[in-house]
Homo-oligomer: A and B are copies of this chain.
Amino acid sequence: MDLQVQFGKRVRELRLAKGLSQEALALKAEVDRTYMTSVENGKRNVAIQNIGKIIAALDISIQDFFNSEIFTIK
């Protein structure tokens, strides 16, 4: 599985856990709603600045964000 796909899955997982809509999260992260959609669906090769914005909007540390079995090598 592609890292950008794993990233999207992790974002979606954490967003849903917080009960937020894509639009609400996008607003908080200061990105476009449709951009957030394509990120979650693994369609975008997101750059690190936006990765930082999105993780911050999820109220989680970088460490905790990536410390998930989603990112385990297979």
Interface size on A, residues (CB 8 A): 21
**Is B71 a contact partner of A67 (Cβ separation < 8 A)?**
no
Q: A57 near B: Cβ within 8 Å?
A: no
**Is B45 a contact partner of A45 (Cβ separation < 8 A)?**
no
**Is B67 a contact partner of A63 (Cβ separation < 8 A)?**
yes
Binary B-proximity of A51-72 (CB < 8 A = 1, otherwise 0) = 1100000000111011110011
**Is B71 a contact partner of A3 (Cβ separation < 8 A)?**
no
Q: Which of A7, A47, A65 has the most CB of B within 10 A?
A: A47
Q: How far is the CB of A51 from chain B (nearest CB, A)?
A: 7
Q: Which 5 A-B pairs have the closest CB atoms?
A: A3-B52, A62-B71, A66-B66, A45-B47, A47-B47
